[in-house]
Amino acid sequence: MKFYWKQPMWPRSCQGHLVLKVAALALLGGLAFRVLFSPSVDFSPDSRSPVVDKVTLPNVPVRDNSVLPPTESQDEVDSSPGPEKCDLFKGDWIPNPSGPVYTNRTCRFIETHQNCMTNGRPDTRYLYWRWNPRNCELLPFDARRFLDLMRGKTWALIGDSISRNHGQSLLCMLSTVERPELVYHDEDYKSRRWHFNSYNFSFSVIWSPFLVKAAIFEDINGVSTSEVEMHLDRLDSKWTSLFPSLNYAIISTGKWFLKNSIYYEDGTVVGCHNCDKSKRNVTELGFDFAYRKVLHQVMDHVVTSGHKGMIFFRTSTPDHFENGEWHNGGTCPKTVPSKEGEIELKDLNRILLDIELGEFKQAKEAAEQSGVNLQLLDFTNLNLMRPDGHPGPYRQYHPFAKDKKAKVQNDCLHWCLPGPIDAWNDVIMDMVLNSS
C-alpha cells in the first residue's frame, strides 16, 4: 500500500529547528529498524490481529491439584454429572440382519402354541431385531460360554407359562451346542428337568403359577369351571423342596392372580377376588391383596434361606391385546416394534408391577444384610415395545387355511419362538458374568 504525503511549507523562522527534528527522526528510524528485524521479537499476523481464533497455552509443568485447595472452577467440574450408569433394561430395539440363532427346524423344544413359523405366520420381520441398552454394550448370548459357566450346576425357572415359554427359548439356544436329555417330567409335562451330560448341568422348569399351594380348575385353553382355591400362607412345595439345591433360579408370577379366586389362610376362607357372591358369603379382598401377601412371603423365604447361589426375581409380562382380551376377541396385529412411550402400560399391569417392585425393594435391602444374592429382572420396558412378537392367531396350526375370515382365539401374552423373549437370555448372561 502506498501513502501520499503533501510536502508542507515551513516558515523561515522554523528552519533552525528543522535540523534538530531531522536528527531526531533519523535516531527514531534507526531504533525502529533494529526492533523490526531483530530475531528475538516476533510479530506474527495472529499476534497483531484484534480477533483471537485460538489460544495456545505455554508449555509449563502440570501442577498436582490433589494437594491444592479446589478452586471454584474445579468444584464445578467435579460436581458435573458423569456418564450414565449402565442399565440393561433401558434401551431400544434395533435391526439385527443376522436374525435368530435357531429356527423351528433346528430346535425341537418349541411347543405348539409358540411355534409361530410352523403354524403359518406369514411375516418374518419380527425375527430381525435385537435389544440394545442405551448406555451399555450388550453382547449376544454365547451358548458355549454359558454352558462352561454352568458346569456341575443346577438352574431352574419357577413360575407360570411365561417361565415355560422362557425355558423353551433358553433350551433352543443352548441346544445349538449340545442337546440335553429329558430326565424328569410330571404327569402333565408342566414341570420338567433336562441334563446336559457333557457339562453335568441340570436345567428345570417348575410349574408353580401362584408360588403358593392352589387348586386350579381349568382346561388347556384357560377356560375355568370354578374359582381357584389359593392358600396364601402355604408356599408351594414343588419349588421350595428343590430351592436349596439350586445354584441359579428365576422366580416369577403375575397374571394368574387376576383369575377368580377364593383365598385361604390357616385352612379357613378369608376372602376372594371376583367370586360368585350368590354361592358364598365371602369378603371381596381383590387380587392385589393376595398378590402382595404372597410375594412378601416368597421374598421372605428367599431372603432368610441363607442361599448361596444367585436368585433372580422377574417382573410379570405385559400383554398387547387390542379391542378385547384373551376370551373376547382381543388381537395383536402389529408387525414391527414400537418406540418407548408409544404404548402405555395397562392399569392392571401397572398394579402388578408396582407391587412387585415394592416387595423386591424391601427384600433386596434384607438380602444385602443376610448375604443372599437377589437380583431383579424387570423386562417391562423391553417387552412393552414388542407388540409384534406374540403368536396372535398363530397359536394354532394354519388357522386361516379353510376360512380366511375365521374367528380364532389370539395369544397376545406369550412369545413366538424364536422371538423377542430370546433377548432375555442376553441380559441374564451379562448379569451372571458380572456377578461372577
Cell of 8: 508542507
Rg for the chain, CA atoms, rounded: 36
Using a pLDDT cut of 90, give the percent of the chain over it.
75
Q: Respond yes or no: is residue 426 known to be catalytic.
A: no
Cell of 310: 444367585
If one compares 25 and 258, the residue with the highest pLDDT of the two is 258
The maximal CA–CA distance of the chain, rounded, in angstroms, is: 136
CB 116 within 8 A of CB 388: no
Q: Respond yes or no: is residue 161 known to be catalytic.
A: yes
> Could you count the other beta carbons within 10 Å of the beta carbon of residue 110?
23
Please tell me which residue in 113, 161, 202, 426 is annotated as part of the active site.
161
Which residues lie below 8 Å from residue 190, measured CB to CB, with a gap of 6+?
Answer: 164, 205, 207
At residue 9, the pLDDT reads: 38
Spell out the domains of the chain, with CATH numbers in brackets. Answer: 93-435 (3.40.50.1110)
Q: DSSP for 276-290, please give it.
A: -TTT----B--HHHH
Task: Read off the pTM.
Answer: 0.80
What element of type H or E holds 18? helix 15-37
Please tell me which residue in 307, 414, 426, 430 is annotated as part of the active site.
414
Cell of 102: 435357531
If one compares 72 and 402, the residue with the highest pLDDT of the two is 402
Task: Express each pLDDT in 426-435 by its tens digit.
Answer: 999 999 999 8
Q: Is the pLDDT of residue 75 over 50?
A: no
Cell of 113: 402354541
At residue 277, the pLDDT reads: 79
Task: Express each pLDDT in 10-36 by its tens digit.
Answer: 333 334 443 334 344 444 444 333 433
Please tell me which residue in 411, 422, 426, 430 is annotated as part of the active site.
411
If one compares 80 and 378, the residue with the highest pLDDT of the two is 378
**Average pLDDT, integer, range 388-395:** 98
> How much of the chain is helix, strand and coil, in % rounded to 5?
35, 20, 50
Main-chain dihedrals φ then ψ at residue 232, nearest 5 degrees: -65, -20
Report the chain's mean pLDDT, rounded to a whole number. Answer: 84
| CA-closest candidate to residue 126, choices 425, 430, 422 | 422
Q: Is the pLDDT of residue 100 over 50?
A: yes
Task: Express each pLDDT in 121-149 by its tens digit.
Answer: 999 999 999 999 998 999 999 999 999 99
Whole-angstrom distance, CA of residue 261 vs CA of residue 259: 6
* DSSP E strands, 252-318: 261-265, 268-273, 310-314
Q: DSSP for 355-421, please give it.
A: HHHHHHHHHHHHHHHHT-EEEEE--HHHHHT-TTSS-BGGGSSSTTSS-TT-----B-SS--SSSTT
Task: Express each pLDDT in 161-202 by its tens digit.
Answer: 999 999 999 999 999 999 999 999 999 999 999 999 999 999
Which residues lie below 8 Å from residue 28, measured CB to CB, with a gap of 6+?
Answer: none
**Type of residue at 424:** W
